[in-house]
Amino acid sequence: MAMASVYRRSLPSPPAIDFSSAEGKLIFNEALQKGTMEGFFRLISYFQTQSEPAFCGLASLSVVLNALSIDPGRKWKGPWRWFDESMLDCCVPLEVVKDKGISFGKVVCLAHCSGAKVEAFHTNQSTIDNFRNFVVKCSISDNCHMISTYHREIFKQTGTGHFSPIGGYNAERDMALILDVARFKYPPHWVPLKLLWEAMDSIDESTGKRRGFMLISRPHREPGLLYTLSCKDESWINIAQYLKEDVPRLVSSQNVDSVEKILSVVFKSLPSNFNQLIRWVAEVRITEDGNQNLSPEEKSRLKLKQVVLKEVQETELFKHISKYLSSVGYEDSLAYAAAKACCQGAEILSGTSSKEFCCRETCVKCVKGPGEAEGTVVTGVVVHDGSEQKVDLLVPSTQTDCECGSEENYPSGNDVFTVLVLALPAQTWSGIKDQALMQEMKQLISMASLPTMLQEEVLHLRRQLQLLKRCQENKEEEDLVAPAF
């Protein structure tokens, strides 16, 4: 039986003008001469088609983040670090976006989580004149790009709400260039700026809020090097609620008289799927048969990760957490952690979102350089649908001296728990009845006592936690600015 299908749509013109038409080219040349197409060239270099019908917000953000050369800090496929729709899962699970689309506030949340600097406005928070000034600002620079969310009906196009980057501006005609990421449907096109404002000044029925626009630019810092939050399924909601509500209540309602007792209260009630929320950022690559030496770039990133890991392990809080976890028999072997990371890596490398990946075996080895060890690599044999794929996981490590010589320390539950506790708001511990203990706890989590790189890592997690809290409370549309600490 034949399946109905559609090959593109005819662009309603007017009001839109096809970018590749004779008139579209003329409008482009006019704008180019006036200097309002500077941002276009970076955007068009990284322009992509949304991979799912409801992924317009994710695709638009991927285009802009890549155009701004923001390093995601994790690999996409093969050896390449690159923003892809499949990696934008910090604020809302991808399956939810695929099914229901995504709101303006959640795209803003994703931009913040990805480490970008964001200014976002619903139309009722701005004016058409301010919007025009922002369009000009992004059009005369390649360091700032705009994403607009609008209703297609105003342009006589099929469909409803949509996201796309704004690629340029013609001041004489007062027209903006929409780089439509639904390229299977409509090509890039020029539209009157006034109509674009009207299309944005519409109500998104899923939120009850007006649509709007966001300006995205490079941050002063890159995203987290070693730790990040993930929302690949709905389990993060319960975990976030536990961290936000249950932990403060537990430490204030029970008679705790030591840091170890506080940790016992926190960790004994952790949701079983807790490890799905916070993870260490793994460098994953497909195992190659040739030269196994690390590239200069891989070595550089591995060294930075090792610095962060060492800084975590040197905190007093880490020592307390390690002591407590050891007392309850907690074990987190490198092979087990690596097997999980290898499966996650294989999922990313294949572009497949599935729970059917399993790691049949792992092998830990040290990669040698010309004179010294360059790093630790865990090779895992990942099985999926009957086929096998060898995946390399580059693992940061630190060394400590012990009675039997030097000992290698790898990322484990101890340091993940440590950075999570550091990332919790200071008021989490304000309910502790013993004042001396409360002051000790606050000293252990004090940002002032942390080295710079670890401070940035913890701040990144705090921002992510705060953004997750907004999403959980459905407040992401009300508060569009980045969390401040």
- The answer to whether residue 145 is catalytic is no
CB-based contact 57:85 (threshold 8 Å):
no
Q: Indicate which residue of 112, 122, 151, 162 is catalytic.
A: 162
Distance CA 457, CA 222 (A): 10
Q: Which of 124, 104, 126 is nearest to 56 (CA)?
A: 104
Q: Indicate which residue of 180, 204, 392, 415 is catalytic.
A: 180
CB within 8 Å of 405: residues ≥ 6 apart? none
Q: Which of 302, 313, 322 is nearest to 394 (CA)?
A: 302
Q: What residue ranges in 206-345 does DSSP mark as E strands?
A: 209-210, 212-217, 227-229, 278-280, 283-286
- The answer to whether residue 56 is catalytic is yes
85 DSSP assignment: G
Distance CA 20, CA 148 (A): 21
Question: Exposure string (b/e) for 467-483, b if CB count within 10 Å is 16 or more?
Answer: bbbbbbeeebbebbebe
β-bridge pairing 387-395 and 283-286: antiparallel
- The answer to whether residue 366 is catalytic is no
Bridge-partner residues for 379, per DSSP?
363, 392
Distance CA 211, CA 213 (A): 7
Distance CA 330, CA 10 (A): 62
Tell me phi and psi for residue 135, to 5 degrees.
-60, -45
Give the helix, strand, coil percentages of the chain, each rounded to 5: 45, 20, 35
Distance CA 134, CA 129 (A): 9
CB-based contact 374:293 (threshold 8 Å):
yes
CB within 8 Å of 245: residues ≥ 6 apart? none
Q: Known catalytic residues?
A: 56, 162, 180
